[in-house]
Structure 1
C-alpha cells in the first residue's frame, strides 16, 4: 500500500467514512504498533479528549464507538499529525528502541562561493542565501560580501557540503535552492548570452524568471533541461542510479546527453533518466518530491539504499552495511531538523534493520 493510500485510509477512518473492513485495517495497524512498542502508548485522558474526538467522530446508526476505539482513533490521529507513521513492506515487526553512544546534529545553512580567480568565500551559516547584484555579491538580507571586478562574465561556483544547503539568486533573478553535497556553476552576468546556461551537480530546486528570447538551460552530467520560465527540481547526484527531473509549474524539455529527441514534462510529472540513457515519465506528488526544500524527509516506498544516501548527505556521515539485508522499503515523513538518532530510530521501528552510530559512521545491521 502506498503512502497516499495509507494517509487516505486513515483520514477516512477519522472522518467515519471507512467501511468496516477499512476500520479493521487501521485498527490492526495501531494494535500492532502498540503491541510491539517498547514504551507503550499511554492510556488516553478520555475526559480531556472526548470533546475533540467526538467533533470528528460523529456516531452513525448501527455502529457504536467504544472508548477503546475512540482511544485508537485519537492515537491514529496523533500518529498522522506527527507524520511518523512508518511501515516496512518486507517486515512490519517493530524493533526495540535503539541506544546510541553518540549523536549527530542535522545539516544547516552552509556553502562556499568560488570566484574565477580561485578565491573561496565561506558563506555565513547565519544567512540563508546569496545573490548577484550587478558587480556585488550580497546576502539575502542586503549585506555585502565581495565585489566582482571582472570586466566580462566570469564563472562563479557555489557548493554546499554534505550537511549543508543554501539559496542563491542568479543575475537574472532566477532563484535556486541547493540541497546538500551539491554544486552550481553560473556566470556573473547573462548579458550578451543567447541562452542562460548553468551547470548542476547534485540537487537543486529552480524558480526560473521568464525570458522567451533567452531560454534557461541546466546542464548535468547526463542530461540537459531547457526551460523558458518555470519551477522544477533536478536531482543529479553522481552516486544515484538515476537522474530525476520533477516539474512543479510550467513546461520543460529533458534531453539525455546521448539522446537526439527531447522529452516534454507537464506539471506534476517526473522524468527518470537511467544509466542506459533511457527516459521514462511518471505522475508524482510534487509536494513529496520537494519535501527536502521544505525541511522534511518524505520516504514514499523508498528502498533502504536510497534512504541511507539521503541521510548520509544531510548528516555528513558514512554508511557501512555490515550485513546483507533483504529488500525493504520505508513509508513516512520526519523533519530534517531532527537529530540523526531520532531519524534512524524511527527507521528501526519499521522492523528488519538496526543501526549503530560510531563517530561519523552509521553501521547498518540486521
Structure 2
C-alpha cells in the first residue's frame, strides 16, 4: 500500500467513513505495528499511531448490576497485544488462516448454588426468585441487583448450622453474610460459613478465590481458612486466591491489616502486600508493593496478566468460560502481560492473544487447543 492510499484510509478511519473490513485492517496494523511495510516518515507514523489509538472503541458494559469500564483498564486490545508482542521478541505475526471461527463460547454470568443447613439447595441466578428463607432467625433474601443477603435479627438462635455457596465454572456471585461482611466469589469457588456467627470469632472456609470486605467487630475477629493459609482480620478488604489446581495460595491486602498463618509460620500484612505460600514449603513469602488492581481485576470484569505463563492464563480462561484446555507442543517459558475484558466472547480474547504470532488456538466444541 502506497503513502496516498494509507493517508486516505486513515482519514476515512478518523471520519468514520471506512468499512468494517478497512477498520479491522487499520486497527490490526496498529496492534501488530508492521512498520517496515509502510512508506511513512517517523513523524507521520507517530502521528498516525496516536490517531488510531484515540479512535479505538471504548466500551461500557453493565454486568451483574454494576458498570465495567473496559477503557479504564488500560486500553484492552492495545495493552494486551503490544506487551504480548514485546515479550515475545517481536516475532513476525502469522497470517490467521480460518481464525477461530468454530463455535461460540460466551463469558460467565452471575450464578451459583446455595446449600442450606438442612441439605436442601437453592439455585442462584437471575431468573430464580428467593422467597424469604428463614433459618434459626436469619432471613435470606435476594436484593434488586441479584445479590444474596443474610439478615440476622436479635432473636437469631445459636446453632451449629452451616450454609455453602458454590460457583461453577462460568459463574460468579456476591453475598452479604449474617454479620454484614460482603464476599465476591470468583468462578469455580466454594464458601462455607455458619448461619449464625456464635462464639468468639467469625470463621469461614474458602476453596477457590474470593474478595472480602469484612464488617468491623473488634470482639469477634474474622477468620478465613483457605488452601495452605489461614487469615485473621478484624475489619478490612482483602483478596484470597486459593485454587487447589494453582501452585500458590495468595492473600493480597487492600485496606487494614491481616495476619496470615501456615502451621507455625506467620506474616502480618500491611496494605499493598501479598502473602504467598505453596504446598511444598512451610514458609510464607511476603511480596511488597504488589499491583493490588491485578489481584482484584477478576472482580472488576478483567483478566489482568503480569509476566504470567500461558498455563496460568488458560486456567483463568478455563474457569470463567467453562471450557477444557488442551496443550500441544512446547509452550514452556513463554510469559505474557496485558489486560482483556472478561465479558468478550472467548474468540475475541483468543484472537487478540494470537496476534502476537507466538501462539495459536483452535476451538473444538468446548475444548480449546493451545499450540506454539
User: TM-score, structure 2 length as denominator?
Assistant: 0.76
Aligned mates of 1:128, 1:334 — CA distance in 2: 32
Q: 1:213 to 1:128 in 2, by over 3 A?
A: farther
| 1:194 and 2:200 correspond | yes
Query: Residues 1-366 of structure 1 correspond to what in structure 2 (within 5 A)?
Result: 33-35=32-34, 66-77=43-54, 82-84=75-77, 85=79, 86=81, 87-88=84-85, 89-93=87-91, 94-97=93-96, 98-125=99-126, 134-141=137-144, 152-190=159-197, 192-256=198-262, 258=263, 260-275=264-279, 276-282=281-287, 283-366=289-372
Task: Please give the secondary structure, in 2, of the residue aligned with 1:308.
Answer: helix
- Cα distance, 1:208 vs structure 2: 0.2
Aligned mates of 2:120, 2:157 — CA distance in 1: 13
Task: Please give the secondary structure, in 2, of the residue aligned with 1:332.
Answer: strand
- Cα distance, 1:152 vs structure 2: 2.0
Aligned mates of 1:115, 1:271 — CA distance in 2: 32
Task: Please give the secondary structure, in 1, of the residue aligned with 2:352.
Answer: helix
Q: 1:203 to 1:215 in 2, by over 3 A?
A: same
Aligned mates of 2:339, 2:253 — CA distance in 1: 21
- Cα distance, 1:65 vs structure 2: 8.6
Q: Deviations over 1:91-133 (max 9, x none)?
A: 4333433232112000000100001221111112358999998
User: TM-score, structure 1 length as denominator?
Assistant: 0.77
Unaligned runs of 5+ in 2: 1-28, 57-70
Unaligned runs of 5+ in 1: 1-29, 44-63
Q: 1:95 to 1:142 in 2, by over 3 A?
A: closer
Contact 1:224-1:254 at 8 Å conserved across structures: yes
- Cα distance, 1:90 vs structure 2: 3.5
Q: 1:229 to 1:359 in 2, by over 3 A?
A: same
- Cα distance, 1:35 vs structure 2: 1.6
Aligned mates of 2:259, 2:144 — CA distance in 1: 34
Aligned mates of 1:209, 1:147 — CA distance in 2: 14
